[in-house]
Structure 1
Amino acid sequence: MFCSLRNFLHVNRRFPRHVSPSSSSSLSQIQSPLCFPLSSPSQSSFISCPFVWFTSFLCIIRYPFVTKSGTSTYSEDFDRDWIRKVVHNDLWDDPGLEKLFDLTLAPIWVPRVLVELKEDPKLAFKFFKWSMTRNGFKHSVESYCIVAHILFCARMYYDANSVLKEMVLSKADCDVFDVLWSTRNVCVPGFGVFDALFSVLIDLGMLEEAIQCFSKMKRFRVFPKTRSCNGLLHRFAKLGKTDDVKRFFKDMIGAGARPTVFTYNIMIDCMCKEGDVEAARGLFEEMKFRGLVPDTVTYNSMIDGFGKVGRLDDTVCFFEEMKDMCCEPDVITYNALINCFCKFGKLPIGLEFYREMKGNGLKPNVVSYSTLVDAFCKEGMMQQAIKFYVDMRRVGLVPNEYTYTSLIDANCKIGNLSDAFRLGNEMLQVGVEWNVVTYTALIDGLCDAERMKEAEELFGKMDTAGVIPNLASYNALIHGFVKAKNMDRALELLNELKGRGIKPDLLLYGTFIWGLCSLEKIEAAKVVMNEMKECGIKANSLIYTTLMDAYFKSGNPTEGLHLLDEMKELDIEVTVVTFCVLIDGLCKNKLVSKAVDYFNRISNDFGLQGNAAIFTAMIDGLCKDNQVEAATTLFEQMVQKGLVPDRTAYTSLMDGNFKQGNVLEALALRDKMAEIGMKLDLLAYTSLVWGLSHCNQLQKARSFLEEMIGEGIHPDEVLCISVLKKHYELGCIDEAVELQSYLMKHQLLTSDNDNALPNM
């Protein structure tokens, strides 16, 4: 059977191109439209579609050599003139046509009819569309391909593209490209239809299929237009598929496509958005090497890309080159410059570009104003931010969610919640919906103001408004509950967050560790830290420092030092804050000698320079360990290094000298504080009054006590009783009685403390 079929397929492959309407004809006399020469890059051969040949063979068997006298046949009417007449005159009820579509093999006959009508593309397309209206009939892929070729050859490109799109969407089981290729000689060979198919696949978002189509086109040396390739590049870039962008760019160049300025603009923009600015620069230079002139879009991408990674000098160079090349900067150019300079703390330069833009006759848009409003807000310059906000409304621009959210966030951060909510309400009134950032800013503001009930209510409204809380939203609310020491609710929110499929980040874990440490639940904090490590999140210096501080404060310096060793093993930076916690913790745990050892190794072993806080912690520790001379030497070194001792350093050294009975040295320190305009606080006054009192300098002690009260700083009862007792001990009874009356008058002593004083 198969041998006979093969012999049949190889006999008389070419049929007469025309059948006379007056002659008897069999179905086998009609030209087969489904057998086309298929050429490859290496050879030209005649390849047929087996399925089509086989079905044609079956059709011949079913209607064997019908004659004109056979009333049950229709082949006598099936000729070119007849079918043209039927289609042209809309004779859709013609019996011959009815019989054609009654056949099981109608999908095989339709392509034949289309070929018969190929000389009149409009009639062919008319017949094709009418066929689709027949109940139960569905065009074969061959029909789609044939009519696409016919239409494309007739330059009916819109209709051809519609047919190709419909064919692709019909989800044909066979490979569309292969059938389109095998039917290519139905008209004068032309390859634009293959580029059209490639473009259709791209337009439909069928990018994998488009890549396969491109590969086959390359194999048969039918190359798509650069414009079509640009379309695929653009699609990949929009989806953020950088690897696919790079791969296809290389393939299209390898296939001989000549990249255009638009091609390079896509590539450069994609690289810049990925932060790979050096790759973007390479493409920029390659573009110029090919003789292509960068346009405004090119320069805008380069300026924006380099600006976002902080390469501000490069952005200015590109901007100047742009102007030298007579490429006029537009609003997008200036917006990119304003944004990058504001982002990296150079607001004055950003403002210069804003003024230059206006001076060049360009009108700032919403993005221009919003960027500057946000920059002023971040700098704490609220008046200027409001001024630009008012200006943008004055010129008819409607603030967007970014503008409003910047102002709302800034007001929340300075505790001005009433204005923040007023702006939020105004935002809704003008039809600008709150986004997740707006909600998060307001929630954070309420949490900072310890209005946790309102914060949680607002958080609950997010889902109702169709705004899904993100990690930042949860972070804000959880931080509020942790700060309020409501760890149970914070843990509930953590579980809710995980239930939504949101993974906690370093900030969230750090918040929990800080909260647990502040509640002295160090072991629980350690459990959280271990969970964080299991999730692949590496603890940073701040988290280690927080835990270290908690261990020192709990009287467990061994564990604190163990964390320091762990930081060094894991190559986690030991900062000056960490070192300050270390020195202070060791001193407070009476391990002053060990603190001195670490202090002396700060430069060589840790690569740090001691700051004022570290020196102060060491001075305080030495004084409390009665090493006043060493503390004084360290104080002098501190000054020599250009570090300014703070009130704590002075107070610690003053207190240490008093304990050693060095009254003159202590008072000299007090005089130095007054000389540099440093006011005494509660601790400093307490140290002075207590020290002078215990050194029997009662008159001076009384003087500083009155000065203290006059400054509005109230001594505690312990200090007051201590001074009174010293008066009694030294026999200064009258002064003691008078001082007691003075203290009672200022409500610094209560009757409950009478028993603490000697009976007179």
Structure 2
Amino acid sequence: MYFQAGLILKELVSSKQWLPESENVVVMLRATSGMCNSQGNGVFDALFGVLTDLGRLEEASDCFHRMRTFRILPKMRSCNNLLQRLARSGKGALSRKLFDDMLSSNMTPTVFTYNIMIDLLCKDGDLKSAQCLFLRMKELGCSPDVITYNSLIDGHGKLGELEEVERLFLEMKGAGYHPDVITFNAIINCFCIYRQIPKAFGYLSEMKKSEVEPNVVTYTTLIDGLCKEGMMKEAIKFFVDMRRRGLRPNEFTFTALIDGHCKAGNLEEALLLVAQMVHEGVELNVVTVTALVDGLCKEGKVEEAEEVFTAVEKSGVAVNQLMCTALIHGHFMNKNSERGVDLFDRMKEKGIKPDISLYGTVVWGLCNVGKLSEAQDLLREMEDHGFKPNHVIYTTLMDAYFKARKASDALGLHHKILDSAWSVTEATYHFEKMRDMGLQPNVLSYTALIDGLCKISCLGEADKLFEQMVEEGMPPDKVAYTSLIDGNMKMGNLQEAFALRSRMEEQGIDLDLHAYTSFICGLCNSGQLQQAKNMLSEMVGNGVCPDAVSIIT
């Protein structure tokens, strides 16, 4: 009867005549249950199960809550089915709500229920909640199993909590549970990720002693770990041993080796593996191709890399930003800027968004061939898309301007660099480089650097630059004076600040709002309130209108 009811409900739910809200059907079934002389609630559970099996998970959740209002609950098996499907479909919030509602309805979770939730929490990185649930299930007399421990070991391992991984492993064995291949793979993986290869091999030995056979995942994980450590000979030995044991390498195994060979400069071996991969019918993925394209470009074989790239595009494999960056860099290295820029434009047309690394690559390439106007345009494009050029990009472009002896453009970037606190060192470097190349910094350049140094409290350096400016026959302007006055007042150097004021007045430069504000704030901070009031009166008397900062101070 239950099976037949399920078929009828499935047909109703799937039909176009199905009512849009499952709660209406729950109400209808509840209202008609007396007319049918039905003593059980199996039909409600059947409806709940049908909605879950058809993938209508939100409707199934609504059905559960509607049933609760009538004090009718689905079977625990049906709830577990929905809980698992919600977790696997990425609906973590709904999973948690359903679990909480199950508990508040006095339903008794099984180990299967707890395993679903602990695994979900571990995958979400919520290890604290997972551990709380683990303790709670034991307190309520529900014994964990191997699956429970596997989820916790994997969760802690991926967050690098390796001591907790080992503790759980020992607890698991102490409780009489036998670790399986999933347990060992999770442990080996976390030790490989965190570059503790000897530990990973220690667990491989224990795995074999426990008569648990390593599988493709085990070998692939270890091969990948060895390749990342540059231990290619050992990785190849494992690859051979894997085949000897009758295990067929998958795309991830091949990719790990290809990437390792490319990074080690063993391009021929990488290409042989690609040919072997194709021969065995193992599908090339985007990670494999990216590693190969990058390796070919680094060896100067850009034409071959272009052929691989084109073949991948035609095969339908979606190229990614890393692959494009490798090939664009290769084109620029090969003195073929037109093809590099063309690929960059095609990439954007296809909706692949450049990151700061790719922008930097193209700026570098354009600067190398003297296309400074295009590089400057790209800098503006970066900023329009919300990217802030880093010091490497600024340095690349400024160096190119210096070499092209375009002092004004170099100075323009120099002033832009000073807008960022981290870049004063870079700006100082470029300032000195200008002088080394015979380019005389102007007043604007000196002033910008003095202001930047004062903002980061490097008053000694700022003073030296100020005096150097005077010695070069360039009278400091109001901004240079005000910057030094502000810096000295903030450091409590009142005598130096007033000495600078005297020099300003000797040159016929009047204090402006910023200079007066610096004096007033500095005097207040030094506890000289009467002098601050006198300065404010002088300011007003000289026709300078105070702002909010001056008045509040």
For 2:336, the aligned partner's letter is: N
Corresponding residue for residue 131 of structure 1: none
Counterpart of 2:31 in structure 1 is 182
After TM superposition, the structure 1 = structure 2 runs for residues 73-472 of structure 1, keeping only pairs within 5 Å, are 151=1, 157-174=2-19, 175-185=24-34, 186-472=36-322
1:125 aligns to what?
Answer: none
Alignment-derived partner of residue 746 in structure 1: none
3-state SS of the aligned residue for 2:345? helix
Q: Deviations over 1:376-431 (max 9, x none)?
A: 11111110010000001111111111111111112222332222121112112222
Residue 188 of structure 1 aligns to a residue in which SS?
coil
Cα distance 1:292–1:460, how it changes in 2: closer, same or farther (>3 A)? same
| 1:39 matched residue in structure 2 | none
Determine the C-alpha separation between the residues in 2 that align with 1:531 and 1:182: 65
Question: CA–CA distance in 2 between the matches of 1:518 and 1:606?
Answer: 36
Name the SS for the 2:419 alignment partner: helix
Query: Residues 360, 540 of structure 1: CA spacing in aligned structure 2 closer, same or farther, 3 A cutoff?
Result: farther
Match of 2:418 in 1: 565
What is aligned with 2:339? 489
Q: Percent identity?
A: 47
Is residue 258–residue 288 contact of structure 2 (8 Å, CA) maintained in 1?
yes
1:490-520 per-position Cα deviation (integer Å, ceiling 9, x unaligned):
3332333333333223332232233234345
Distance 1:219 1:495, change over 3 A: farther
Identify if the C-alpha distance between structure 1 residues 513 and 195 changes in structure 2 by more than 3 Å, giving closer, same or farther.
Answer: farther
Pick the structure with more helix per residue: 2
Report which of the two structures shows the higher radius of gyration computed on alpha carbons.
1
Alignment match, 2:464: none
d(CA) in 1 for partners of 2:160, 2:397: 34
Q: Distance in 2 between matches of 1:327 and 1:549?
A: 64
1:549 and 1:560 in contact (8 A); partners too: no
CA displacement at 1:546 relative to structure 2 = 4.5
* Contact 1:261 1:293 (8 Å CA) reproduced: yes
CA distance 1:478–1:591, change in 2 (3 Å): closer
Q: CA deviation at 1:201?
A: 0.9
Q: Is the 8 A contact 1:412 1:445 kept in 2?
A: yes
Q: Render the CA deviation track for 1:274-317: whole Å, top value 9, x for unaligned.
A: 33333333333333343332221122112211221222222222
Q: CA deviation at 1:446?
A: 1.7
For residues 440 and 428 of structure 1, what CA distance do their matches in structure 2 show? 16
Partner deviation per Cα, 1:432-467 (whole Å, 9 max, x = no partner): 121122222222222222222222221121243332
1:308-345 deviations in Å (ceiling 9; x for gaps): 12222222222222222222221111111111111122
Counterpart position of 1:628: none
1:476 maps to 326
User: In the superposition, relative to structure 1, how do residues 490 and 232 fare at CA in structure 2: closer, same or farther (>3 Å)?
Assistant: farther
Distance 1:504 1:209, change over 3 A: same
| 1:217–1:425 CA distance, 2 compared to 1 (3 A) | same
RMSD over aligned Cα, in angstroms?
Answer: 3.1
Q: Output the amino acid matched with 1:431.
A: G
Contact 2:394 2:413 in 1 (8 A): no
Please tell me the residue identity of whatever aligns with 2:259: D
Residue pair 2:414, 2:430 contacting (<8 A) in 1 also: no
SS for the counterpart of 2:246 is: coil
Q: 1:554 to 1:191 in 2, by over 3 A?
A: farther
Q: 5+ unaligned residues in a row in structure 1: which ranges?
A: 1-150, 152-156, 608-760
Normalised by the length of structure 1, the TM-score is: 0.53
CA contact (8 A) 2:224 2:257 kept: yes
CA shift, 1:547, in A, is 4.8
Q: Is the 8 A contact 1:411 1:420 kept in 2?
A: yes
> Relative to structure 1, is the Cα distance of residues 295 and 169 closer, same or farther in structure 2, using a 3 angstrom cutoff?
same
Task: Letter of the 1:164 partner, please give it.
Answer: L
Structure 2 unmatched runs, 5+ = 459-553
Higher RCO, Cα 8 Å, sep 6+: 2
Which residue pairs with 1:22 in the alignment?
none
Residue 337 of structure 2 contacts residue 369 of structure 2 at CA under 8 Å; is this kept in 1?
A: no
Paired residue type of 1:266: I
Structure 2 residue 442 is matched with structure 1 residue 589: no
- In structure 2, what residue type is equivalent to 1:245? S
The answer to whether the Cα contact below 8 Å between 1:551 and 1:559 also exists between their aligned partners in 2 is no
Structure 2 CA distance for partners of 1:561 and 1:276, relative to 1, 3 Å: farther
Q: Secondary structure at the match of 2:290?
A: helix
Letter in 1 for 2:29: L
C-alpha contact (below 8 Å) 1:198/1:224 kept by paired residues: yes
The structure-2 alpha-carbon separation of the partners of 1:263 and 1:539, relative to structure 1 and needing over 3 Å to count, comes to: farther
Distance of 1:547 and 1:286 partners within structure 2: 60
TM-score, normalising length from structure 2?
0.72
Question: Matched residues in 1 for 2:72 and 2:457: separation?
Answer: 65
Alpha-carbon distance between aligned partners in 2 of 1:509 and 1:287, rounded to the nearest angstrom: 52
SS at match of 2:248: coil
- CA shift, 1:564, in A, is 4.3
Aligned length: 439
Contact 2:45 2:75 in 1 (8 A): yes
Q: Which amino acid aligns with 1:567?
A: S
Residue-by-residue CA offset, 1:21-79 (whole Å, 9 max, x unaligned)? xxxxxxxxxxxxxxxxxxxxxxxxxxxxxxxxxxxxxxxxxxxxxxxxxxxxxxxxxxx
2:287 maps to a residue whose letter is V
